[in-house]
Structure 1
Amino acid sequence: MTNNSFTTTILVDQSPMAAFDAINRPRDWWGKEIEGRTDRLGEEWTYRYKDMHVSNQKTTEFMPGQRVVWHVVDAQMNFLNDKSEWKNTDLIFDIAQKGDKTEIRFTHAGLVPAVECFDICTNAWTGLIADSLKGLIENEQGLPDTVE
């Protein structure tokens, strides 16, 4: 995957382990419609948002306090021409202590400017990471998608 994949970084006022634990609770910051176990190496799980987006992830790296990688095994993005655009991409969370803060660098490896979803997905990821995940880590108040 190329090095121009989407990346965003946040700093939080919590420990690397607290950040790691929150990342692995995507129901609390990404979306309520998640099926399967998300907090263990090798687990496969599904994210669903209405009839617009379904993706199946497998946790391929799970290093407490340091790194989490979710490989997108399959995806169906009904608002795109190439509905499987996310398939075989990786959602990567690198966690590091930076002074008295913790840095989280999120990369969607494979989400590059040439793909149709780039603008929509980068806007969504930016909000999810900077607002929802950060809020969960610092205040136990994430803003996940909900089914209405």
Structure 2
Amino acid sequence: MSEDNYQREIRVKATPGDVYEALTTGYAAWWTEPDGAFEKEGDVVRFGFSERHGYWTFKAVTLSEDRIELQCVEAKHIHPGGPAEFEREWLGTHVRWEFQDGADGKTVIRFEHDGLTPELHCYEVCSEGWDMFFVDSLKSYLDTGDGKPFRA
């Protein structure tokens, strides 16, 4: 873990069990439509953002009651006007959520995209994307049942 990695923390009204479901089978409600779900470690799921924006494919590394970790095993990030390096920068990176009951009755979720650092060409646009989907959409989904996922 590097302090330069993209990291955020949110507090939600949902239970850790609800968080687990959102991070294994509920992506369409807050991020984008996947081609499957993470039911066991080793499962591979592709997340598409239309032909205009590309896709990322993740493999489940850890699926536990308080931690989800996925490794990007395929990447095609299309960002109009961005350098060609954008396309595969996520390849080999890990996204990690750790969650637990907080003292205030809310669930604390810590998110880190291990490998998404300021040195990457896509850092700014990807950080803004995670802010929109993790900080805003996932939080809204877990607090109210209404997320703001990508729609093609």
Tell whether the structures are fold-level matches, with TM greater than 0.5. yes
Alignment counterpart, residue 113 of structure 2, candidates 108, 111, 128:
108
* Structure with higher strand content: 1
What is the percentage of aligned positions where both structures have the same residue?
Answer: 23
Instruction: Compute the displacement of 1:8 (Å).
Output: 0.7
Give the match for residue 130 of structure 1: 135
Letter in 2 for 1:44: V
In the superposition, the TM-score normalised over structure 2's length comes to 0.89
Give the match for residue 11 of structure 2: 11
The total of aligned residue pairs comes to 145
Indicate if the aligned counterparts of 1:26 and 1:38 stay in contact, CA closer than 8 A.
Answer: no
1:1-148 matches, within 5 Å, as 2-24=2-24, 25-32=26-33, 34-51=34-51, 52-64=53-65, 66-79=66-79, 80-82=83-85, 83-99=87-103, 100-147=105-152
* Structure with higher helix content: 2
- Secondary structure of the residue aligned to 1:35 is coil
In the superposition, the TM-score normalised over structure 1's length comes to 0.92
Instruction: Compute the displacement of 1:23 (Å).
Output: 2.0
CA distance in 2, matches of 1:36, 1:96: 26
CA distance in 2, matches of 1:39, 1:124: 25
Q: 1:62-81, CA deviations, whole angstroms, 9 ceiling, x for partnerless residues?
A: 002x0001110010112242
- Secondary structure of the residue aligned to 2:88 is coil
CA distance in 1, matches of 2:61, 2:111: 15
- Secondary structure of the residue aligned to 2:84 is coil
Indicate if the aligned counterparts of 1:136 and 1:142 stay in contact, CA closer than 8 A.
Answer: yes
Instruction: Compute the displacement of 1:3 (Å).
Output: 3.3
**Structure 2: any 5+ residue segments left out of the alignment?**
none
- Secondary structure of the residue aligned to 1:142 is coil
Indicate if the aligned counterparts of 1:69 and 1:93 stay in contact, CA closer than 8 A.
Answer: yes
Indicate if the aligned counterparts of 1:68 and 1:94 stay in contact, CA closer than 8 A.
Answer: yes
